[in-house]
Amino acid sequence: MNITKEQIDDLNAVVKVAITKDDYQEKVDKILKDYRKQANVPGFRKGQVPLGLIKKQYGKAVLVDEVNKLIQDNLNKYLTEEKLDVLGNPLPKQKEDFDWDNETLDFEFELGLAPNFDVQLKTKKAIVQYKIVADKKMIDEQVERIQKQYGKLVTKAEVGKVAEVIGIFKNEAEEIENKSTLEIDKIKSKKAVNALLGKKVGEEVTLNTKGLFKEDYLLSGALGIDREKAEKLNIDVTFTIEEINERQAATLDQELFDKLFGKDNVTSENELRDKIKEDSEKQFEQQSDQKLLNDITERLIDNTKFELPAEFLKKWIQLSGENPLSDDEASEEYEKSEKGLRYQLIEGKIIKENDLQVQLEELKEFSKGFIKSQMAQYGHLNPSEEELENISMRVLGNQDEVKRLSEQLMSQKLLDLYKEKANLKVKEVSYDNFIKEAYS
C-alpha cells in the first residue's frame, strides 16, 4: 500500500491511496475459505462447495469490505503520523469508471485542513468583569423572606392585606377546579384585592385571570393548569374561601439563627445580614463568570482572524448526515455552525499553548465539590469525606458524567486563565443593574 499527499493550498489537500492485491488477497482468500466451510448450497455437502462458486457469490463483497477496512485503518494512521490537523473527515472522491478487478486500486480523499493562526488573550479594549454586590435593598428583602418563611400562621376572621387565603378556584367551561393558597400581597389586580378584602370563610368572589398576579407564572399553579394555557387565559373564575391566615414574622433570635446555619455560627442580626451578603455574592459569581466567559468568547472570535476550508466543510456537512442535504441546506448548516467551529479551534489552540489538562485527581475533587453543593440544596450541609468519596466514585463510573464534568472543569480552567491574562476591567454593580447592563 502506498499513501501520498498532494497539497492543493493551505487549507485543502488530497490524499492518494494505492492498494495492490498483495495488501488484501491473503485475507480475502482466508475469509472465502471460512465461508466455504459453513456454506449450505443445494446439491453440495456442507464444506464441499467449490471455492469458485463461493468466490463468484461472495468474492466481490468480501473484497470491498476488506479494502475499506485497510483504507480506514491505514488512512487514520497516516494522518496521525503526518500530524495533519484535519477538519471533519476525509471525503472520498467518486470515480465513475472504478474497476474492482484492477491489479492496483487507486483511491483519492479530499482533506480540509485546520488553519494556522495566533490567539491574543490580551485585547486592546478591556472587557468588563462584573462583580455583583448584594445591596441593602436585596438583604432587607432576604431577611423579610426568612422571617416570613419561618413565621407562624395565625387564623384570621376576615381577609386582610397580608393574608394567605386557602380556597377553591372554579370555572366549569374550562374544567377548572383547584384548591390553592392565595397570597394577597402577590396579587397585581387592584380590583381583585378590593374584592377579597374583608371577606370571610365560606364567601365566594369572582376574579378575572388576566393580570391577576404580579408574577405571571403564579396563575398556572393557582388554577392547576399548564403554563401555556394560563398565558392565554382571560376568563372569570370563582374563588370560594375555606381558610384565612396571616403569617406572623419570625423573631430574629438565636433559635432561628441556629436553625438556619447551625449552632452559634450566627449570633446576631448583623451577622445574619453579613452571612446573607456573603452567600448571595458567592452565588452571583456563577452568573458574572458565565457572562465574562461569553464576552471573552465573543471577543476572541471577533479578534482572531483566519480562513476556513468553507467549500470542503459544506460538502462534508452535505454528505456526513444520515440523509444527504442539498447545496442550499448544506450552506445554511455551515453558516449556523461556522462561529462555533471557529471558537472550537481557538479554544483548542489556547488549551494546547497553555498546557491545560484535566487530571483524574482534579476531576475527582471537582466532582466532590459539585456533589457537596447539590447536597447542600437539600439541607445536607456537612457530608463526610467518606460519603463524598463513595458518591464521587459512582458518578465517575458513568462515562457521560465524566465527559460532562471534564468539560465543566476545563471551562473553569479556561476562565481562570482568562482572568489571569485577559485585559479585564472590574465593575461593581447591584444584581438589578447587572441584569440591565448585561442582558439589555
316: left (phi over 0), alpha (psi -120 to 50) or beta: alpha
User: Taking the domain 2-113, which CATH number applies?
Assistant: 3.30.70.1050
DSSP run (H or E) holding 171: strand 163-171
Parallel/antiparallel/unpaired status of strands 236-248 and 163-171: antiparallel
Question: pLDDT averaged over the chain?
Answer: 91
The H or E element spanning position 16 is strand 12-20
Residue 419: band (very low, low, confident or very high) from pLDDT cuts 50, 70, 90: very high
CB-based contact 249:148 (threshold 8 Å): yes
* Listed residue (106, 92, 88) closest to 11, CA to CA: 88
pLDDT above 70 for 304: yes
pLDDT of 381 reads 63
pLDDT tens digit sequence for 267-295: 999 999 999 999 899 889 989 999 999 99
Question: What mean pLDDT do residues 297-323 have?
Answer: 93
Separation of alpha carbons 37 and 44, rounded Å: 12
Reported as a single tens digit per residue, the pLDDT across 353-373 is 999 999 999 999 999 988 888
SS3 31: helix
Beta strand pairing call for 127-133 and 424-430: parallel
Long-range (24+ apart) CB contacts under 8 A made by 429-435 are: 429/130, 429/131, 429/132, 429/133, 430/132, 430/133, 430/134, 430/135, 430/137, 430/138, 431/132, 431/134, 431/135, 431/138, 431/280, 431/284, 434/130, 434/132, 434/284, 434/287, 434/288
| 430 and 135 Cβ atoms separated by less than 8 Å | yes
Query: In this model, does residue 44 exceed pLDDT 90?
Result: no
Q: Residue 324: what pLDDT?
A: 86
Q: What pTM, to 2 d.p., does this model score? A: 0.71
Residue 167 class from Cβ within 10 Å (0-12 exposed, 13-18 middle, 19+ buried)? buried
pLDDT at 379: 65
Indicate the domain borders of the chain.
Answer: 2-113, 152-248, 268-439
- According to DSSP, the β-strands at 12-20 and 2-9 are antiparallel
CATH number listed for the domain at residues 268-439: 1.10.3120
- For the chain, give the percent of residues with pLDDT over 90: 73
| The domain defined by 152-248 carries CATH number 1.10.600 | no
Give the pLDDT band of residue 411 (cuts 50, 70, 90).
Answer: very high
pLDDT for 97 equals: 83
Which three three-digit cell numbers place residue 440? Answer: 439589555
C-alpha cell at 225: 393548569
Res 370: pLDDT: 85
Instruction: Annotate 9-27 with b (16+ C-beta within 10 A) or e (fewer).
Output: eebebbbebebeeebbeeb
